[in-house]
């Protein structure tokens, strides 16, 4: 465990004027408060706060933040109180410790509604003092570094939370090295096999090609020397998670992935940055569409750098970042650079953003969000770095997430513009509304009176704001139709558990789900924003729980080890009576596929992971969800009859959503809970016999792989 003298030495390295007595007093107080407490690894608990403080010294942070790290768990886990800490260490430190305690008590892994509220609390805490979140990030980093001592289930929960919230938050704050380490540590837990595979391939690549990084570094240094530019070059292979994410996004194997190396060139002046860029582009061919100038267009967290990708040695793509030393400091520390000390004084970095202004701009925009979808989209837009910057015809910049379309652009300007959009021009050329926008493009939106959002727009747009606005408009336009459909879905769902969907039951469900009234509940049910199961569960949770608990996980499938768990693959949705095979995952049990599932092809060379399984011969309850792809006539009462027909077969509709709406036919996906393959065939036969059903097939979504 790091002792007080070692910690003080780390602080005095960048701040010789630090208050050593204060740090030593906080160290002894924290150790005394945690005396007798131990981590799951068996170490004394206080080794954790001491390590968190050490992590924060890497950011050259002030004494108050270091002391807060030493005390951050005292109010939560010991007999210490806010008043005592305020008396011993002052108001500022007491407020910081209290802020970290409140963040710790937030349950960030939850439903979207709760998650939106937790994000609001998170940013409110940040708005009071950003150092609270810096301590929390360091706390999470040390917990992830020592996560192996936790139970497997807890490891997975913490890793998902880190990947979803803390890693992107660190990235949004500009703390890139911390973000990368958090991602990699989470990746090790969530997909250890993929990570190990990438590392093994890296080792093989190095063996075959030699030290490529040193060779390319030498090439760059030679070009800079020719141009008479003084700069330092740093090269590295990208992190396993970054490579894996690129493989997923581009749907490419490791051998086809080219830009797996990254290089930073740090110069003494801004003008040298552009001279370096010229030298690099003169020597190597630039890759189109891979140039970003964050010096002339800085990110809101103060990040400045030039990014370019070139075809380097042997045709390998190489990503190059060019920046000055001051820009580099902000790139590594992000918003934390505001509190950095150097030689005993607060470092004056012209590129360090004022945290108070930055967080105020965030919270101001979040406060204007109309609903949870829109708020969470604001959060993701601010936290994730994959963004595109487009221009209005007047030259104003509009920031959107990568993958956004002209429709997202229209709704970002104003809901009225989005609702009445009939077309768009990108760089003065007419393009389809589903076109993906790129950095620097100029967008012109064409509108027409009387135009209304189309149902297919929901699948075109990428932002939560646009999706929420489109759904709201569709809900208002089709409200009566959705209420009728919702009433029929509710009737079938309640009858399935032996109850009736009375007006009182619907009002009770609406109150439980915090909706305005029964009509609002039915409209959302009919538009597939709520599932029938959620509505029934709101009134009769015991009946739904009883149905869900009937299946015995130990007896449903034969062939598992005593301690193995199983899940049905979402891609093929096997049901009892079908031939099945299992694929084992370390720490995640066994995934069951139908024997003819195309997804099994990727496991052909991994025979050690195949598990021979079959369904238990006993009677299975109707809890196995299967998706049907239906095309039905667009006529009065048709969908209601379909729902009734499914209910008459003893099956329950768990979800429903439309793929396409035409004047004569609808195409939709219906998810139905079934017992076994015979039950599946009986439902399909009943639907095929219905005259208004044009076609029915079993929907298998190969994009939904485990």
Catalytic amino acids? Answer: 76-77
CA distance 129 to 136: 12
398 neighbors 389 (Cβ within 8 angstroms):
yes
CA distance 176 to 180: 6
524 neighbors 644 (Cβ within 8 angstroms):
no
Phi, psi (deg, nearest 5) at residue 482: -70, -35
Closest CA to 161 of 177, 147, 174: 147
User: Within 10 A of 507 (CB to CB), how many other CB atoms are there?
Assistant: 15
Q: DSSP characters for 619-686?
A: ---S-EEEEEEEEEE--TTHHHHHHHHHHHTT-EEEEEEEEEE-SSEEEEEEEEEESSHHHHHHHHHH
Contacts (Cβ under 8 Å, ≥6 apart) of 493: 501, 532, 533, 535, 536, 652, 653
CA distance 190 to 181: 14
> 186: which strand partners?
none
3-class DSSP string for 488-526? HHHHHHHHHCCCCCCHHHHHHHHHHCCCCCHHHHHHHHH
Would you call 696 helix, strand, or coil by DSSP?
Answer: strand
3-class DSSP string for 17-51? CCCHHHHHHHHHHHHHHCCCCECCCCCECCHHHHH
3-class DSSP string for 610-622? EEECEECCCCCCC
73 neighbors 34 (Cβ within 8 angstroms):
yes
CA distance 281 to 96: 48
- Compute CA distances 325 → 268, 273, 293, 328, 332, whole Å: 6, 11, 17, 5, 11
Q: Are strands 387-391 and 345-346 parallel, antiparallel or unpaired?
A: unpaired
Would you call 194 helix, strand, or coil by DSSP?
Answer: helix
> 380: which strand partners?
none
Contacts (Cβ under 8 Å, ≥6 apart) of 359: 123, 126, 127, 130
CA distance 21 to 188: 40
Contacts (Cβ under 8 Å, ≥6 apart) of 480: none
Angle ∠(352,358,364) on CA atoms, nearest 5: 175
Structure tokens at 667: 């195409």
- Compute CA distances 216 → 146, 183, 209, whole Å: 35, 27, 12
Q: Are strands 421-426 and 443-447 parallel, antiparallel or unpaired?
A: antiparallel
Structure tokens at 82: 């806010």
> 667: which strand partners?
631, 660
* Continuous segment of H or E residues that includes residue 562: none
Structure tokens at 345: 């004084």
402 neighbors 417 (Cβ within 8 angstroms):
no
Q: How far is CA 276 from the centre of its chain?
A: 35
598 DSSP 8-state letter: G
């Amino acid at each position: 465990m790091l002792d007080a003298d070692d910690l003080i030495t780390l602080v005095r390295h960048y701040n010789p004027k630090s208050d050593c007595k204060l740090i030593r007093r906080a160290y002894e107080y924290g150790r005394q408060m945690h005396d007798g407490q131990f981590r799951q690894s068996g170490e004394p608990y206080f080794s954790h706060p001491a390590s968190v403080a050490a992590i924060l010294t890497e950011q050259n942070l002030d004494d108050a933040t270091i002391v807060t790290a030493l005390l951050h768990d005292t109010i939560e886990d010991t007999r210490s109180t806010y008043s005592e800490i305020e008396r011993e260490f002052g108001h500022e430190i007491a407020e910081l410790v209290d802020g970290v305690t409140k963040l710790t008590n937030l349950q960030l892994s939850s439903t979207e509604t709760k998650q939106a509220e937790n994000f609001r609390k998170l940013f409110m805490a940040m708005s009071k003092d950003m150092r609270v979140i810096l301590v929390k990030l360091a706390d999470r980093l040390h917990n992830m570094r020592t996560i192996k001592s936790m139970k497997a289930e807890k490891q997975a929960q913490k890793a998902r939370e880190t990947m979803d919230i803390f890693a992107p938050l660190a990235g949004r704050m500009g703390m890139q090295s911390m973000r990368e380490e958090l991602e990699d540590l989470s990746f090790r837990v969530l997909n250890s096999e993929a990570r190990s595979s990438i590392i093994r391939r890296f080792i093989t690549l190095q063996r075959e090609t030699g030290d490529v990084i040193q060779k390319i570094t030498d090439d760059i240094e030679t070009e800079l020397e020719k141009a008479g530019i003084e700069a330092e070059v740093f090269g590295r292979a990208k992190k396993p998670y970054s490579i894996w994410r690129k493989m997923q996004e581009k749907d490419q194997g490791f051998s086809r992935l080219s830009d797996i190396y990254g290089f930073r060139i740090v110069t003494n002046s801004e003008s040298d940055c552009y001279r370096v860029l010229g030298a690099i582009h003169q020597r190597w061919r630039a890759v189109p569409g891979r140039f970003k100038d964050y010096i002339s267009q800085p990110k809101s967290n103060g990040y400045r750098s030039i990014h370019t990708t070139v075809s380097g040695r042997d045709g390998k793509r190489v990503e190059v970042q060019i920046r000055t030393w001051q820009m580099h400091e902000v790139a590594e520390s992000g918003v934390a650079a505001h509190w950095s000390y150097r030689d005993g004084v607060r470092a004056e970095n012209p590129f360090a953003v004022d945290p108070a202004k930055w967080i105020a701009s965030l919270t101001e925009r979040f406060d204007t969000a109309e609903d949870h979808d829109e708020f969470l989209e604001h959060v993701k837009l601010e936290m994730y770095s994959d963004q595109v910057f487009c221009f209005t015809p007047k030259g104003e910049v509009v920031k959107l997430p990568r993958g956004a379309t002209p429709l997202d652009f229209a709704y970002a300007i104003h809901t009225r513009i989005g609702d009445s959009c009939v077309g768009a021009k990108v760089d003065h050329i007419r393009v389809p509304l589903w076109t993906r926008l790129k950095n620097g493009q100029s967008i012109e939106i064409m509108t027409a009176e009387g135009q209304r959002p189309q149902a297919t727009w929901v699948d075109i747009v990428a932002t939560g704001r646009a999706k929420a606005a489109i759904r709201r408009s569709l809900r208002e336009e089709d409200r009566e139709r959705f209420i009728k459909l919702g009433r029929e879905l509710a009737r079938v769902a309640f009858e399935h558990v032996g109850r009736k969907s009375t007006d009182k039951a619907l009002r009770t469900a609406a109150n439980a789900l915090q909706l305005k009234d029964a009509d609002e509940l039915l409209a959302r049910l009919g538009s597939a924003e709520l599932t029938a199961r959620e509505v029934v569960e709101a009134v009769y949770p015991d009946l739904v729980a009883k149905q869900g608990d009937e299946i015995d996980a130990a007896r449903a499938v034969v062939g598992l080890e005593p301690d193995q768990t199983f899940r049905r693959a979402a891609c093929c949705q096997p049901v009892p009576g079908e031939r099945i095979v299992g694929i084992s995952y370390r720490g995640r049990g066994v995934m069951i596929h139908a024997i003819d599932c195309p997804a099994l092809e990727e496991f052909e060379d991994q025979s050690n992971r195949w598990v021979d399984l079959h369904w238990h011969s006993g009677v299975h309850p109707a809890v196995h969800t299967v998706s049907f792809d239906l095309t039905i006539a667009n006529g009065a009462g048709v969908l209601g009859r379909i729902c009734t027909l499914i209910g008459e077969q003893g099956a329950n509709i768990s979800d429903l959503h439309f793929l396409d709406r035409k004047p004569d036919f609808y195409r939709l996906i219906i998810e139905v809970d079934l017992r076994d393959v015979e039950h599946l065939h009986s439902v399909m036969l009943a639907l095929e016999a219905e005259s208004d059903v044009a076609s029915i097939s079993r929907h298998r979504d190969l994009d939904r792989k485990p």
